[in-house]
Copies of this chain bind each other. A is one copy, B any other.
Amino acid sequence: MTTNTPPQIWLYDTTLRDGTQREGLSVSIEDKLRIARRLDQLGFPFIEGGWPGANPKDVQFFWQLQEDPLKQAEIVAFCSTRRPNTTADSEAMLQAILAAGTRWVTVFGKSWDLQVTAGLQTTLAENLAMIRDTIEYLAAQGRRVIYDAEHWFDGYKQNREYALQTLETAMAAGAEWIVLCDTNGGTLPHEVSQIVASVISNLSENINTQLKPQIGIHTHNDSDTAVANALAAVMAGAKMVQGTINGYGERCGNANLCSLIPNLQLKLGYSCIAQHQLNQLTEASRFISEVVNLAPDEHAPFVGRSAFAHKGGIHVSAVQRNPVTYEHIQPEEVGNSRRIVISEQSGLSNVLAKARTFGIELDKHQPAARQILQRLKELESQGYQFEAAEASFALLMYEALGTRQQLFEIKGFQVHCDLVEGKETNNALATVKITVKSQDILEAAEGNGPVAALDAALRKALVKFYPQVATFELTDYKVRILNGHRGTAAKTRVLVESGTGYQRWTTIGVSPNILAASYQAVVEGLEYGLLLHSPAPSSFKNFWLKENS
């Protein structure tokens, strides 16, 4: 990077329109508004909000934004060109677009002759008229227009001359941006690179107009190259990048802005958003995945939980001495953080680093440090794995440090399950015997499986002493069989995720008996939850502030 002003790339987010095409993703108007406001904070100049008129939800959404507008971003309405053989001013669809009251409108149209004749079943000339009329009409009503050239790359390969005519028509009609869309996602980066460069040189040579529209790029991930395709287009001269948060989108998704922005800004020296906004990228990615209710991709580049996770002793000490040895960027630049994974290969340096994330400063000569490492190795050889069970690891550390409080003591439990062939629900019954604050408690509960029954019985026993237990939930449950070739005689490893509100913590249990392993993880989940929601060492709270802020 030089000290000159870095060249600007205009981000255009389509999470709220193309992103919602993802199978399994659905959002309310409230969700859409929360996402739009978050994207606005991130500094995206264009946010595509939807297609008002195509569905009532999108109409409502634009109305709400008219009443309480975004602070910085342009909210953009999206629509197609008019239908064949009509006029623009007679299209109800375009009236709905105008009613949405945005300054900018994105119009998409056909570039591929096949899509015109076979898809729309009209003539190539009428398609050009549809593009021209629609853009001219919107411009005459005071709208600024972005033109999305659908199926651009396929169209260009099949009938280059016609494809270019569609762009020239859009430009002449007043489109300020021409966005080349790889609608089917089948194009590879070297083709994008060639075609974008060729479009730019063609348009600047052939157009007789004072308007000089800029070029944008819109890619899909069907070839697993959406991000690379967008980068290739930018390097060939495109100035706008369309994409979605977390790469949400139809089929295999759209170009992922969470990958594109750091690549453009940190690696290629373009300017997209301010540094303090880039620092919020990881949090925004996770916030949006919460709002749309999809589990975040832990292995996502830049913003995933595993993106800067390190295993193995030598590796860990190297990365601590000099992060560039195993990290391509500094995780903090995108608001992520380095994570030391506790695993079989761990050395003392991992343990110390891990303890530090819980606010515990251990010295490597301190007996507790060696004791934690030894206990860790011992448990791991029995099949425990603390990579994902950080709450159980915290309890193990408190144990070694002598600071683990005994909040309750389990004496035993019983599970009974009666299955009748052909019966839909098979309830399980659990009884549990525990001692809390010197009182013996015996409780029983039912559930639609043995683990649910056990969890219910335990809470029933604990809630009298610790009312906060009522707010805890069992949010995820994972089972893995170890030494699988010994079948059911093998050991079972259970991971239980518990939570309350937005907090989540994971605990582990291992046993040859799946119910014993589950019970162990459920019990530790309750114990850790109680530590979180009781007076506790300040180091503990620090950890939570850090992890959940």
Which residues of A approach B to under 8 Å, CB–CB? 21-24, 26, 28-31, 114-115, 118-119, 151, 154, 183-186, 188-190, 221-225, 227-229, 231-232, 235, 250-253, 256, 259-260, 263, 267-268, 293, 295, 298-302, 304, 306-309, 311, 314, 318, 321-322, 324-329, 341, 385, 387-388, 409-421, 425-426, 428, 447-452, 455, 473-490, 492, 496-497, 511-516, 519
Contacts and interface: CB of A to CB of B under 8 A. Distances in A.
Contact of A388 (B22, B24, B300): B24
A224 B118 contact: no
Given A308-B251, A318-B119, A421-B412, A451 B301 contact: no
Nearest to A411: B421
B485 A477 contact: no
Given A416-B416, A515-B449, A30 B475 contact: no
A29 B490 CA distance: 14
A450 B293 CA distance: 22
Nearest to A182: B328
B483 A252 contact: no
A382 B363 CA distance: 52
A223 B267 contact: yes
A112 to B, nearest CB: 8
Contacts of A486: 475
Nearest to A425: B512
A118 B326 CA distance: 12
A512 to B, nearest CB: 5
| Most chain B beta-carbon neighbours within 10 Å: one of A260, A487, A511 | A487
Nearest to A491: B449
A412 B418 contact: yes
Contacts of A482: 28
Contacts of A492: 449, 479
Interface of A is mostly: mixed
A293 B488 CA distance: 16
A514 B451 contact: yes
Nearest to A317: B119
A260 B225 CA distance: 10
A208 B31 CA distance: 65
28 contacts: A23-B311, A23-B387, A29-B485, A119-B314, A184-B328, A188-B268, A190-B232, A222-B302, A223-B227, A224-B260, A224-B263, A225-B227, A250-B311, A252-B300, A252-B301, A412-B419, A412-B420, A426-B513, A447-B488, A450-B513, A452-B487, A455-B488, A474-B487, A476-B481, A476-B487, A477-B484, A478-B484, A479-B481
Contacts of A409: 421
Contact of A513 (B306, B314, B449): B449
Contacts of A484: 28, 30-31, 295, 475-478, 497
A225 to B, nearest CB: 5
Given A154-B324, A293-B485, 20 more contacts: A23-B306, A23-B387, A31-B484, A114-B325, A118-B322, A184-B326, A250-B309, A250-B311, A295-B484, A415-B415, A416-B417, A417-B513, A419-B513, A426-B511, A426-B516, A474-B487, A476-B481, A479-B479, A479-B492, A514-B514
A251 B488 contact: no
Nearest to A481: B477
B417 A251 contact: no
B421 A488 contact: no
Given A223-B328, A301-B252, A417-B515, A480 B477 contact: no
A256 to B, nearest CB: 6
